Structure formats: C-alpha cells, structure tokens
Amino acid sequence: MIDKINALLAEIENLTATNSEETELLRIRFFSKKGEITALMNDFRNVPAEDKRAVGVKINELKESAQQKLNALKMSLDNDAPADDGIDLTRTSYPFRVGTRHPLSIVRKKICDIFARLGFCIAEGQEIEDDWHVFSSLNFAEDHPARDMQDTFFVQHGADMLLRTHTSSVQTRVMEETQPPVRIICPGRVYRNEAVSYRAHCFFHQVEALYVDKDVSFADLKQTLLYFAREMFGRDTDIRLRPSFFPFTEPSAEMDISCNLCGGKGCPFCKHTGWVEILGCGMVDPNVLENCGIDSNIYSGFALGMGVERITNLTYQVKDLRLFSENDVRFLRQFESAS
C-alpha cells in the first residue's frame, strides 16, 4: 500500500489543469466516495497492526498533498481569469431609473413600525375565509347587510366560503389559537362588492390592531390612538372620538384627526370642519371573546382598524383610489424619494 501511496504522491506533484472543469474532475478522482484516497482509507482496516502507524502517516500526507495541489490549481485559474472592471458592455447607454416602493407599501410599513414600537407583532391570514371567522364569531347577526351579495364576494353560491371583507378574521383565528395576552396588528388585502370609482374600489388594504389582556380599558385605547396619530401625522395632531356602532366592539367609536392641510382651521379637504375621519375602534365585545374561547370575565381588550388607502390619501393627497392599482409608472415615480 505504501508503494501505491508513493506513486500517487509523485503523480500529484505533476498534475495540471487548464480550466475549472478539469480541476473538478481531479477533485472527484481523489476525494469522491469512490475516489482513490477514499479507497485507501477503506483498505486501511486490512493493514497489519504493526504497519498501521506508518501507513496512516502516508495516507494523511497524501490527503494534504492532494488538497494543497487542488487549491493551487484553483488559485492559478482565478488569477488567470480576465479582470472584472465593473463595466457591463451589454447595457444600454441610457441610464436606468431608480425603482421605488409602492405608496401603499410605504404607508403600511410606517403604520406597522409605529405599532411595533408599542409591542404589537404582525399576524397574517388567508384571504379566502369562512363565514364563522369573518362574520359569525364577530357578532354579526344572521340578517346583517354585510352578509348580502351586494357587499361580499362569495366563492361559491350557497357556500359559506368568501373573500374576506376585513382582516378581523385574522384576529379571531389568533384568539382561538392563543390565550391572552394578545397584542397583534393584521395588515392585508380585503374585498367588497362595490362599484369602482375615484373614492371606492372592490379591493383595498387594511391594518387592524387587537390588544387583549387583563384590565385593558378605553383609556388604553385612547392613548394608543393618540400616540399613533402623532407619530403618523405629526406632533401637533389632535384626535377626537365620536360614538359609533360596530357588531364586534362595545362601546365603539370613529376617530378623527385634525386636518393636516389646514391645521384644523377648515379647508375643502376636510369640508371646512377641521377634522378628517381615519379609523374605527372600540372595546372588544364580550360575545366575541367568548366565541373565541376567551373568558370575558377575566380579560378585556380593544380593537381598531384603518384603511391603508385612506391614510395614504392623507399623507400624499392622492385624490383617486384607482391610481393605486393601475401601475401607472408616471404616478409611481412620484414616490422615488419616499421609499
């Protein structure tokens, strides 16, 4: 065996390769599962005990010599390769425009970042949902108008599968699978059977938030809303809450912010009221908690939801919702500096 090893050592010293393919073939010849060095290692068990030390030393020498030779061949081939000067001669002479993120993505990320600073984590779910998670678990009555075909896209007539109308379905799934404390935000696309116009679309984007724990109060909700409004629209932003109704919250409210165009003095954008509505909110109805397996005698919570398009309109004064989905590069290029 030692004679065979010495012969391989002499052969390795004279090995050459002109390209990377030849180098790879040499590696396979010596180091693959059926390679020559591997075969020697397998035959080592048959070496007499008194010769094992000498043979083992020679095999190790062969392995090191072969590896060093392969490394040297690879390095020489790399050095012989033409230098890359960073110029792509196949590129057009016209400069490429810098890409940009979509305005809805920019605003959604900012919203998520604000709530992340408050300890909220992101939860996502499927867009095709069942009636229970979209309506029934959220305290919608059987005859609620939202269940009608005029508002909801049903996947199959007569079935309870539908395109979600809000991301509250994600909240119900999380509450079913997770015991409090729960602190999540649910961004995503939702669908409603509405006529497409400059102010409405059949699909749009929402970000909803949910916080469930012991002793959660309306004061916690109000402070969260104030923090969000001032982080999103500026430190001078004021908020006001108006009583409202949602099946899944009680009490419920609509939140307005002071108009960021006129500073609350009144302008055409805010219809001369000084206020602009941006979201709905409220304390989670105890029935919703019970439907999701949470004891409403121990836990309470608040929920809020906003349309990303609405916030984007306030941020960039985009008047037509259809622009967000038409992929008009002339519109998208306006946001190069914002991304």
pLDDT tens per residue, range 49-82: 888 788 788 888 888 888 888 888 888 877 765 6
| Res 260: pLDDT | 74
Pairing verdict, β 121-122 and 182-191: parallel
Tokens, residue 254:
């609509």
Name the band, by pLDDT with cuts 50, 70 and 90, for residue 249: very high
With H, G, I as helix, E, B as strand and everything else as coil, classify residue 182: strand
Provide the token pair at 69.
């030779």
pLDDT band at 84 (very low <50, low <70, confident <90, very high): low
- 104-123 mean pLDDT: 94
Phi and psi angles of residue 281, each rounded to the nearest 5 degrees, phi first? -160, 180
For residue 270, what pLDDT is reported? 76
Tell me the mean pLDDT in the region 308-323: 85
Report the chain's mean pLDDT, rounded to a whole number: 86
Provide φ and ψ at 189, rounded to 5°: -95, 140
Checking if the pLDDT of 83 tops 60, the result is: no
116: pLDDT strictly greater than 90 = yes
Task: Say if residue 121's pLDDT is above 90.
Answer: yes
Distances (CA, A) of 172 to 120, 237, 249: 16, 32, 13
Which stretch, 4-8, 184-188, 258-262, has highest mean pLDDT? Answer: 184-188
Confidence label for 6 from pLDDT (cuts 50, 70 and 90): confident
pLDDT surpasses 80 at 255: yes
Q: To the nearest 10°, the Cα dihedral for 133, 139, 140, 142?
A: 100
Q: Which of 103, 146, 161 is nearest to 327 (CA)?
A: 103
* Residue-level pLDDT at 285: 94
pLDDT at residue 12 is higher than 90: no
Report CA Rg, the chain.
33
The pLDDT > 70 percentage for the chain reads 93
Res 14: pLDDT? 83
At 9 the pLDDT is: 82
Q: What's residue 174's pLDDT? A: 94
What is the reported pLDDT for 65?
87
In this prediction, residue 287 carries a pLDDT of 93
CB 190 within 8 A of CB 166: yes
Confidence of residue 154 (pLDDT cuts 50, 70, 90): confident
**CA atoms in the 13 A half-sphere facing the CB of 190:** 25
Q: Does residue 274 surpass a pLDDT of 80?
A: yes
Nearest-10 crossing angle of helices 36-43, 52-80: 170
Confidence of residue 85 (pLDDT cuts 50, 70, 90): low
Predicted confidence at residue 337, as pLDDT, reads 65
Averaged over 238-252, what is the pLDDT?
93
Q: Quick check: 105 pLDDT over 70?
A: yes
Q: Where in the chain is the domain with CATH 3.30.930.10?
A: 103-335
Cβ neighbours of residue 121 closer than 8 Å, sequence gap 6 or more: 183, 184, 185
Q: At what angle do helices 36-43 and 20-31 cross, to 10 degrees?
A: 10
Give me the architecture of the 103-335 domain, per CATH: 2-Layer Sandwich (3.30)
The pLDDT of 186-191, averaged and rounded, is 93
* pLDDT digit string, tens, across residues 226-243: 999 999 988 988 999 999
Q: What is the DSSP letter of 144?
A: -
**Whole-number Å distance between alpha carbons of 150 and 193:** 6
Report whether pLDDT(339) > 60: no
Q: What is the mean pLDDT of residues 280-289?
A: 94
What was the pLDDT predicted at 115? Answer: 95
Distance separating alpha carbons of residues 3 and 213, to the nearest angstrom: 78
pLDDT of residue 33: 82
